[in-house]
Structure 1
């Protein structure tokens, strides 16, 4: 199962009335599902660790071969981050400095988030508080995982893609036409 346990993650900045807020998404590379996320008024390593804990909780606590891919930001190169990954048996994977293509999956999700929620037609920002942004992000993540169509997944939402994949693995359903 190790092949399927690759998480990509990154931070993005969102304006709010009282300054910036930061959002970290953890994306399951196989299904494009957002499995962990965190909104905070800072971008210290603990916000990333909180998002990783959410991802572990949503996926079960231990997965052999878990690889966590990120850019070379200070949160992802910190001693605390490296120690926590070692504790949970995960391997860090860091792209080259200044190359957004090295973390394209996480950058793409950040772009969707900004286009669809932060600057999109349904936007409700700028948000007054971190909690307001967190609530809006919760709704967007739910929509992203259960309704947003992804071309990479054969124009299905991540949750539907995963359900079909696991149904095939258990022999309940046949998957046709998926990449």
Structure 2
């Protein structure tokens, strides 16, 4: 993010609004404000934040990225486990 007075913050916000308008709102007619709010919520929470692919995540969605991450962690943990050694008693 930019410092006070920089245009970077505004550019990010403008980019987000452009995406929302292009992918969610443009070409649709809403009968009520509640219907528009629901459409925006479903787009933002149901698609944009969870299923939309992102370049920074290797063109995976956040859900796919997390699933891959936790699967790799589980595989690494299994590889690090050593078989139990019997206790030696004297």
Deviation (angstroms), 1:136:
0.8
Matches of 1:164 and 1:103, distance apart in 2: 33
Deviation (angstroms), 1:113:
0.8
Tell me the secondary structure at the aligned position of residue 171 of structure 1.
helix
Matches of 1:117 and 1:104, distance apart in 2: 20
More helix per residue: 2
Q: Does 1:102 align with 2:9?
A: yes
Number of matched pairs: 75
Matches of 1:140 and 1:108, distance apart in 2: 16
What RMSD, in angstroms, separates the aligned Cα atoms of the two structures?
Answer: 3.0
Task: Say which of 55, 62, 74 aligns to 1:172.
Answer: 74
What does residue 50 of structure 2 align with?
146
Give unmatched runs, 5+ long, in structure 1. 1-68, 70-93, 175-179
Which structure: larger Rg?
A: 2
The two structures have a TM-score, normalised by structure 1, of 0.33
Report 1 or 2 for greater relative contact order, CA contacts < 8 Å, sequence distance ≥ 6: 1
